[in-house]
Amino acid sequence: MILIAIPLYIYFCHHELLEDMSNIRNVEHLLLQYKKEGALIYIAAQIIQIIICIIPGQALQIAAGYLYGFWIGLVLSIIGATLGSIAVFYLARLLGHDAMQILFGERKINEMLGNLNSKKGMILVFIIFLIPGIPKDLCTYAAGLSELHLKPFLIVSIIARSPGMMCSLAIGRQVMNGNYTSAIVIAVIVAILFLFGLLFRNKVIAFFDKAYDKLKNL
């Protein structure tokens, strides 16, 4: 119930928090306001963003690129994403299957578990975390209930998350350097990939499923 209650409470009682976290300037102001603790606040925000999946993450990463630069921002982002994924993995196991059904629906959680428990489960994890626009929260929570072990799940999901993180951090870095044209180009590419992932996610997953089956039969 915690997973349902907290997002609903934030959405209805503190909707301004979501708007603030979606605004790059607000995130930047928060991190600058607590400059000494900024890195820890950023890591904590990344963890919360993964646990409470209604909070957007791109603004956080763009602000991190602006404030900390590309490489330091990447390290902080990976630390936050890793800790957040570990928290969700074990939180799903703690709350159990019934809670996940309430949160995501019985059909969706059972379908995802069936895919993750198959031989191509890790390929599916990689695709979901690589392509912008494909919802990642269901996969992260379902992984905690699946037969997947934490270590390989973390390695594959973090590697797949990295290109998206790098793009957001690069936008922030380019803005900091005054290279607004480069920032816009990167943002347009990311937007196109996001729309592609959103509109064609089922076809992309089906394509990789067929490719995997062909490779398996060679």
Cβ atoms of 91 and 51 within 8 Å: the answer is yes
What was the pLDDT predicted at 86? 92
Cβ atoms of 125 and 116 within 8 Å: the answer is yes
What was the pLDDT predicted at 107? 87
Residue 187 CB coordination number (10 Å): 18
Segment 24-35 shows an average pLDDT of: 60
Confidence band for 75, pLDDT divided at 50, 70 and 90: very high
Instruction: Using the structure block, give the residue that is written with the tokens 């992260």.
Output: 140
What was the pLDDT predicted at 11? 46
What was the pLDDT predicted at 212? 54
Helix (H) / strand (E) element for 33: namely helix 24-33
Domain of 20?
2-216
The number of folded domains in the chain is 1
Got the DSSP string for 124-184?
Answer: HHHHHHHSTTS--HHHHHHHHHSS--HHHHHHHHHHHHHHHHHHHHHHHHHHHTT-HHHHH
Two structure tokens written together for 120: 């191509």
pLDDT digits (tens, 9 = 90+) for 90-118: 988 888 888 888 878 888 888 888 888 88
Q: What is the pTM of this model?
A: 0.72
What was the pLDDT predicted at 3? 45
pLDDT digits (tens, 9 = 90+) for 162-203: 888 888 888 877 776 677 677 677 777 767 776 776 666 666
Region class of 55: left (phi > 0), else alpha (psi between -120 and 50), else beta: beta
Instruction: Say whether pLDDT at 52 is over 60.
Output: yes
